[in-house]
Amino acid sequence: MSGNASRQNAITSVAKYVTPPAALGDRESLSELFGKNVFGRSAMQDRLPKAVYKSVLATIDKAAPLDPSIADVVASAMKDWAIEKGATHYAHVFYPLTGLTAEKHDSFLEPDSNGSAIAEFAGKTLVQGEPDASSFPNGGLRQTFEARGYTGWDVTSPAYILENPNGNTLCIPTVFVSWTGEALDTKTPLLRSQQVLNTQATRILELFGHSEIDTVTSFAGAEQEYFLIDKGFFFARPDLIASGRTLFGAKPPKGQEFDDHYFGAIPERVLACMHDCEQELWKLGIPAKTRHNEVAPGQFEIAPVFERANLATDHQQLLMVTLQRVANNYGMECLLHEKPFAGVNGSGKHVNFSLGNATQGNLLDPGHTPHDNAQFLVFCAAVIRSVSLFGGLLRSVVASAANDHRLGANEAPPAIISIFLGEQLMDVFDQIAKGGATSSKEKGTLIVGVDTIPDLPSDPGDRNRTSPFAFTGNRFEFRAPGSSQSIAGPMLAINSIMSESLDFIATELDSLLSSGTEFNAAVQKVLEEIITDHGSVVFNGDGYAEEWQIEAAARGLKNLRTTPEALAELDSSEVQALFEKYGILNNRELASRYEVNLEQYCLNINVEACATLEMGRTVILPAALRYQGELAAAAASLKQIDLSYDTTTLEEVGTHISSLLSGLNSLEKALESHGGDSSSEEATYACEVLLPCTLVVRAAADALECVVADDLWPLPTYQEMLFIL
């Protein structure tokens, strides 16, 4: 395709691209590289006094209170280590309600009385910082004139070095709270939920007779999907720059229908970028494990190994930043938006969840005979009950303007939150509902029919990629989170609802045992009650099917298709009671998140609407009018020499231009109005009025793209962006 000047320049820049020489240089071995820039256990053991090191480990591993007297020693060792690594500054890193990462940098430099300077980093500086608390989204927790906020050192997430060609920075993960002590971030409530989960899970383990019980924590492994496109195309698309997704774009002749991109050979340029990205992640102690092409052209995935939920959350934020930074080095833009291109697969962030500890192991591991594993069945039943009671909450913590394009609209998972158990576990719970489980379906053997290939073991049940919350062997996979989202919200919700269900089960078992019921009979009674009352949330079928929408409604499952509907769950009395009961979020903190998320939704839709209006008037309409003028001139010229001219195309272009102008006028009027005085009314207006107006404009523009001469079309096309790398 020739394209206009900007398109042609973008295509030419791709053709000239050469992999940076740095990517071809010698690399350190994985053992030397992994954790190289992390002040982790190895660095602490080498540099801290033995007693201090043990004290820090007790806080990390046993959730023991942090001893404030060790702060100066740790700070001094951390400073020396960081300076040896080339650090000139330190930064308290925190996670405000923007969903992004925030940093406040200070140098180690301290002037002395002799006109010189020394490097200092005191314990009190390590433990606490003070950024402005009024300039971040807070949902009413802080007024503009109330600026004081604090960061507090999170010792459970290790400090690390962020490298830069001009000087490195020591980064210290922290919580972020207001002067009143209320959480202004995503980390604080997540840490609170981890504490509660440990308390309730320990009650269950004690009932099963365990006496030595290590701290129980949730674990997470988030599969990150993303798109890569050339920078030239990105900069030639104002919609991508403004909103992260294409607001216009006709379907290309070829999309993903051939399924040839999925797990295909990784393009050389992309593979070089992936190599460098993994090197950077490994330096930061992020256990990046898997990489591959995803379903859509230009789409890829990276997945790390499981980590403690808090650490996994911090690492996910770092991973997203690293993906974008390294892609930039290769002349590419990493798109983390959930739906950057209409009509092809969107990007999610499947969060694999389990819980366990060092002494009892993975508490969601069923073993070979799950019907005999009562402890596993109790924890699995807690998941079933949790999702049944709080499916709306799970939907709300993944709600965003971007994720609405994936959930319940164009692709899996649907907005209906259900659980997939698989054939083996479903059979076991069916037996429990009928009076007791006595058997489990066994693994099978796959006979391939090729003598040189050994027989392969097969699992006792298939997997289900359309389920939002699926059991996958020894964990559950929450498939609804979006690719650009922090996993703090999903893990906060999972920890909280699991704590409530484990509390319920432990209390029920205590009551039955106190009344003289034998332990196994008590467990059977509780499990039977849960699967009877909450089994309707289990669905092993096709989540894509239209029939499921009808069946789910009959089962009483919520289908919250849009963000305004989903966020209303945060304002429900059930969710308020859940977080208040366990001290995870008080009502003010919860209400702040409701307001912030509504505001973010409205802002995103408004940006998209304004970008649609601007591009429609200044980019697309002029191109269409030029083409209309060329067609009209050609018709007039032919008429002068008595030649007939087929005016069909001219009429078609005129019709689409009229539709475009009408749509733009309607959108402009819609932007001049407001939905009401409350945030919820504004969000509903954005959803029900602004979004449909932008779609009308897009439909007309995409129709024009299909008929306007290619040399006049101003925007890089889907075919170019998705297939030229």
Mean pLDDT of 280-286: 97
Q: CA-CA distance, 715 to 240, in Å (whole number)? A: 11
Share of the chain above pLDDT 90, in %: 78
Amino acid at 92: H
**Domain boundary residue among 599, 631, 659?**
599
Which residues, including other chains, have CB under 8 Å from residue 664's CB and lie 6 or more apart? 613, 616, 617, 621, 697
More confidently predicted of 146 and 26: 146
Q: What per-residue confidence (pLDDT) applies to 444? A: 80
HEC readout, 372-436: HCHHHHHHHHHHHHHHHHHHHHHHHCCCCCCHHHCECCCECCCCECCEECHHHHHHHHHHHHCCC
Mean pLDDT of 211-216: 95
Which pLDDT tens digit goes with each residue over 150-200? 999 999 999 999 999 889 999 999 999 998 899 999 999 999 999 999 999
Q: CA-CA distance, 120 to 703, in Å (whole number)? A: 63
Q: What per-residue confidence (pLDDT) applies to 144? A: 64
Are 113 and 192 a contacting pair, CB within 8 Å? no
- Please name the residue that has the structure tokens 């209409």: 342
Which of 198, 197, 214, 205 is CA-nearest to residue 358?
214
- Angstrom CA distances, 713 to 9, 74, 411, stand at 14, 60, 30
Strand-pair partners of 477:
352, 470
Task: Categorize the per-residue pLDDT at 31 as very low, low, confident or very high, splitting at 50, 70 and 90.
Answer: confident
Q: If DSSP codes are grouped into helix, strand and coil, which group holds residue 241?
A: helix
Rounded to the nearest angstrom, the gap between the alpha carbon of residue 383 and the centroid of all alpha carbons in its chain is 21
Task: Count the neighbouring beta carbons within 10 Å of the beta carbon of residue 363.
Answer: 21
Residue 145's domain comprises: 34-185
Task: Count the neighbouring beta carbons within 10 Å of the beta carbon of residue 18.
Answer: 7
If asked whether residues 437 and 529 sit together in one domain, one would say yes
Which pLDDT tens digit goes with each residue over 680-695? 999 999 999 999 999 9
- Does residue 14 form part of some domain? no
Which of 330, 343, 271 is CA-nearest to residue 300?
271
DSSP letter at 687 equals I
- Does residue 91 form part of some domain? yes
Q: CA-CA distance, 298 to 284, in Å (whole number)? A: 27
- Does residue 22 form part of some domain? no
- Does residue 151 form part of some domain? yes
Task: Categorize the per-residue pLDDT at 406 as very low, low, confident or very high, splitting at 50, 70 and 90.
Answer: confident
Q: Which of 44-48, 443-447, 663-667 has the lowest mean pLDDT?
A: 443-447
pLDDT at 708 over 60: yes
122, two tokens: 């005191």
Mean pLDDT of 298-307: 96
Amino acid at 217: T
Question: What CATH number has the domain bearing residue 413?
Answer: 3.30.590.10
- Does residue 146 form part of some domain? yes
Question: What CATH number has the domain bearing residue 115?
Answer: 3.10.20.70
Q: Which helix (H) or strand (E) holds 515?
A: none
**Domain boundary residue among 185, 211, 246?**
185
If asked whether residues 212 and 142 sit together in one domain, one would say no
pLDDT at 16 over 80: no
If asked whether residues 120 and 200 sit together in one domain, one would say no
- Does residue 255 form part of some domain? yes
- Does residue 67 form part of some domain? yes
Round the average pLDDT of the chain to a whole number and report it. 92
Whether a cis peptide bond, with omega within 30° of 0, leads into 413 is yes
Which residues, including other chains, have CB under 8 Å from residue 23's CB and lie 6 or more apart? 272, 273, 275, 276, 330
Which residues, including other chains, have CB under 8 Å from residue 240's CB and lie 6 or more apart? 234, 246, 333, 335, 340
pLDDT at 623 over 80: yes
Phi, psi of 641 (to 5 degrees): -105, 25
Mean pLDDT of 247-269: 93
Amino acid at 605: I
Burial class (CB in 10 A: 0-12, 13-18, 19+), 15: exposed
If asked whether residues 496 and 584 sit together in one domain, one would say yes
If asked whether residues 376 and 447 sit together in one domain, one would say yes
247, two tokens: 């607001």
Task: Categorize the per-residue pLDDT at 28 as very low, low, confident or very high, splitting at 50, 70 and 90.
Answer: confident
Listed in order, strand segments (DSSP E) in 215-265 are 217-230
Rounded to the nearest angstrom, the gap between the alpha carbon of residue 14 and the centroid of all alpha carbons in its chain is 30
- Number of residues assigned to the chain: 725
Q: CA-CA distance, 364 to 221, in Å (whole number)? A: 15
Q: CA-CA distance, 309 to 465, in Å (whole number)? A: 23
Are 158 and 48 a contacting pair, CB within 8 Å? no
Phi, psi of 106 (to 5 degrees): -135, 150
Q: CA-CA distance, 523 to 512, in Å (whole number)? A: 9
Q: CA-CA distance, 36 to 38, in Å (whole number)? A: 6
Mean pLDDT of 685-710: 97
pLDDT at 143 over 50: yes
Q: CA-CA distance, 506 to 515, in Å (whole number)? A: 14
If asked whether residues 257 and 354 sit together in one domain, one would say yes
If asked whether residues 529 and 585 sit together in one domain, one would say yes
Q: CA-CA distance, 90 to 83, in Å (whole number)? A: 10
- Please name the residue that has the structure tokens 């740095």: 22
385, two tokens: 């009950």
**Domain boundary residue among 599, 631, 666?**
599
Task: Categorize the per-residue pLDDT at 2 as very low, low, confident or very high, splitting at 50, 70 and 90.
Answer: very low
If asked whether residues 365 and 319 sit together in one domain, one would say yes
Mean pLDDT of 328-355: 95
186, two tokens: 């995503």
Give the total number of structural domains in the chain. 2
HEC readout, 260-273: CCCCCCCCHHHHHH
Dihedral class, residue 38 (left if φ above 0, else alpha if ψ from -120 to 50, else beta): beta
If asked whether residues 181 and 272 sit together in one domain, one would say no
Mean pLDDT of 233-246: 97
Task: Count the neighbouring beta carbons within 10 Å of the beta carbon of residue 556.
Answer: 9
Q: Which of 126-135, 275-284, 542-551, 578-587 has the lowest mean pLDDT?
A: 126-135
Q: What per-residue confidence (pLDDT) applies to 137? A: 83
554, two tokens: 């009959």
Q: If DSSP codes are grouped into helix, strand and coil, which group holds residue 309?
A: helix
If asked whether residues 173 and 241 sit together in one domain, one would say no
Q: What per-residue confidence (pLDDT) applies to 19? A: 66
If asked whether residues 206 and 129 sit together in one domain, one would say no
- Does residue 665 form part of some domain? no
Which of 413, 667, 363, 398 is CA-nearest to residue 552?
413
If asked whether residues 493 and 587 sit together in one domain, one would say yes
